[in-house]
Amino acid sequence: MRREYMRSSSRLTAAAIAVGILAIPCAARATVLFSDNFSNDTATFTYPDASGFHLPGTPSGPGSWSYNYANYEMIQAGVITNTLPGGGTGGAGGNPNYMAIQRNGGPGWAAANFASPAGNSGNLSVQWDMYDVGPGSLFQIYLSDASGSSAAFGNVGPILEASYYTPVNSGDMELGALTPSYTDLGGYPNNAWVHMDMEVNLAADTYQLLVNNVSKGTFPYYPDGAGSLKSLDFYGASNAGETLYVDNINVVDTPVPEPASLSLLVVGSLIAFKRTRSRA
């Protein structure tokens, strides 16, 4: 058997060279601005304790605390030995440590100060658990563009009101969003932990509010005019002896992804066609 190999002429083709610019978004890096589950608080006491002043320890994460108070019992934190009103025995999610705030007259608030100001674009996720005790209580929880001892006097962004002044019924904690008009968000069980979540659109100056992971709507700042947000404030707005317990505070800033330009050089392949024929 004789086999002959005949090589055909190769045909080379070159594709046109294409050069382009492709913008690929870089992954946004989330930054924790404040975090505290009060795990650094080891003092055990009975609340309220007018004989001493109990401060939270260094936060378990980034940030710092500041206060304005008139009486010892107004700012208390740590492992509280007495049973919570309504039968509660500890912090949210089984956490044994939490903060308690009471106002009995005069100014009183606790400010969770961010490690760095929030950006002006992207999303700011602000979450905490709270346990409101009435009757007659009125707490305002808000984001401010001031921090430290002046936090209560800054420009206010998102602001909520937790009160018993206009409850759905006497067993409810009434929540409202101030925009500056009052938007009734309904009643929630008093003497129980409630999970709060503000998802803030920093560019639009709006926020979506979720209560126990259920959206209650999207609201504007009160009023629009706040600068870079620097603190989360828990403010006792009356002298009715209200108490607010707070746990598991987390503030996370996620900026808008920045586009990255990537130059791509695309060269068409050089393709050689080879045809082989055999003959026996």
24-260, CATH topology level: Jelly Rolls (2.60.120)
Q: What is the DSSP string of 85-143?
A: GGG--SSGGG-S-EEEEE-SSS--EEEEE-SS---SSSEEEEEEEEEEE-SS-EEEEEE
* Residue pair 199/134 in contact by the 8 Å Cβ criterion: no
Mean pLDDT calculated for residue range 100-105: 73
Residue 169 — very low, low, confident or very high, per pLDDT cuts 50/70/90?
A: low
Percent of the chain with pLDDT over 70: 71
Q: Parse the chain into domains and list their residue ranges.
A: 24-260
215-253 pLDDT per residue, tens: 999 999 998 788 999 999 998 876 666 778 899 999 999
Mean pLDDT calculated for residue range 74-86: 78
**Res. 213: pLDDT tops 90:** yes
pTM for the whole structure: 0.80
Mean pLDDT calculated for residue range 191-214: 95
